Structure 1
Amino acid sequence: MLLDLITSATIGSLMGLLAHAKRNKTIKKPRNTKRTFDPGFLTDMGYGTVAAVATVIVADPSSMERLILTSLLAGFFADGAMSKLEATNLLDNNKQFKINQEQLNEKLPAPKKSTKSEDKEE
């Protein structure tokens, strides 16, 4: 079983790297600036690795061919699944922000209407 997990992790990380290259049209190296750290391709490799290992644990393929196929598919589609989750969370956050903003605006007092005579006096 350990050999299966190591094999799936290797295949998943390579598929994550390929998915990264496909999405970005190049392989972005990790870089460390003064304020931030950009992991580059390491994030996608990690997603592919975790997805492939989790899929192999859950599916428990019986042969090496099934193990390889399962790892290939899971590693490649991990990026798509993460992008879909990110988009869903972003939409949910935006909806909640709009709801909160409307509730705050309802609690605020209405603005005073100024007349032209008041504007001239000031």
Structure 2
Amino acid sequence: MMRNIAFALLIGGLVGIVGHVRKKGKIVKPRKTKKFIYLGFLEEVLMGALSAVLLVISSDVDSLYKVVYISILAGIGGDAVLEELNVFRTDQKTAIPEDRKKDA
């Protein structure tokens, strides 16, 4: 079981890095601003690895191929969760809906 968890961590983290590079075009390093800490690529790595481990543990797989397959799917799913969270982070008051942009 520990071998499955280790592979899930590794594969989920790698899928997280690939998703980050696909989205941003480069690897963005973590940085600290006055108000908060921006995790950069570590955010996607942690989300992909965590989702892969949780899915592998909950599905109780016995084959290494199933672990790899489930970890890749979970890493992609972790990327989708982060994209949904970015929707909530944007300021809704300043965003202009598409139908109002035509009138302006």
TM-score computed with the length of structure 2 as normaliser: 0.76
SS state at 1:26 partner? coil
Q: Which residue does the alignment assign to 1:101?
A: none
Structure label with greater radius of gyration: 1
Query: Hey, what's the Cα distance between the residues in 1 that align with 2:45 and 2:84?
Result: 17
Q: Which residue does the alignment assign to 2:13?
A: 13
The alpha-carbon deviation at position 82 of structure 1 amounts to: 2.8
State percent identity of aligned pairs: 30
Structure 2 unmatched ranges of 5 or more: 93-104
The alpha-carbon deviation at position 39 of structure 1 amounts to: 1.2
Q: CA RMSD in A?
A: 2.1
Query: Hey, what's the Cα distance between the residues in 2 that align with 1:28 and 1:82?
Result: 15
Q: Which residue does the alignment assign to 1:64?
A: 64
Greater per-residue helix proportion: 1
TM-score computed with the length of structure 1 as normaliser: 0.66
Structure 1 unmatched ranges of 5 or more: 95-122
Aligned length: 91
Higher relative contact order (CA 8 A, sep 6+): 2
